[in-house]
Amino acid sequence: MLPAGLPTKSEYGEPMTRAPTALALLFLAGTTMLVTGVLADGRGDWHGYAWQSIDVADCLPDAGGTHPCPPFHEKWDWKRDQWVDIAVTLDPNRQTVRLRQQLSDNDRRDTDYVCVTALVLDGDGHNLVAHHQNWLIHGGESRAADFTYRSPDLASASRIHIGSKQCRDGAGQDDDAYAAVLARMAPPQEPHG
């Protein structure tokens, strides 16, 4: 039975069926699953990023017991000679992720804010580590920094997503997204660097 106030006949005088209601519920359920699926891998909190993924199985152990991962190399502005380079090394013994971030702006006439985000996820798509930086870089400049993050659940890591974009809104863009991601992570990670 339809709730009071809703029409019981179509404009053609035919009795209304439950098909439109069923289709609407099906659409709503599908949309919810799609959104939940996107958010489940961590990238749904971040908008406008160009992403690359690294399978943790591709981070092979070295002689020192750490696991260097394949490098990330991506332009933040597709039409310019401006690059983000990220080196990720997992240290299962110390339960740490070391990340070296470098920006290279080889276009001397262009200054940008650049956002870089890296997410280490477990097999269920939950964030174990989240890294986010928004740097101002001037034309012709190169800038690099090292970061270390600790996660007691690092052994369950399965994927690393790294994304970058030009942050046209300037300093602080996406800081609120980063704060929300960190607030949802349990237990809180310990950033170092």
**Cα–Cα distance measured from residue 177 to residue 127, given in angstroms and rounded to the nearest whole number:** 13
Tokens encoding 62: 């070295």
Would the pTM of this model clear 0.85, i.e. be above it?
no
Apex CA 189: angle with CA 184 and CA 193, to 5°? 130
Per-residue confidence of the chain (193 residues) as pLDDT tens digits? 444 443 444 444 555 444 444 444 434 444 333 333 344 578 999 999 999 999 999 999 999 999 999 999 999 988 999 999 999 999 999 999 999 999 999 999 999 999 999 999 999 999 999 999 999 999 999 999 999 999 999 999 999 999 999 999 999 999 999 999 999 985 545 666 6
Residue 187 has a pLDDT of 57
Strands 157-166, 112-122: pairing kind: antiparallel
> Hunting for tokens 């080889």 — which residue is that?
106
The pLDDT value recorded for residue 78 is: 85
Task: List domains and CATH numbers for the chain.
Answer: 38-192 (2.60.40.10)
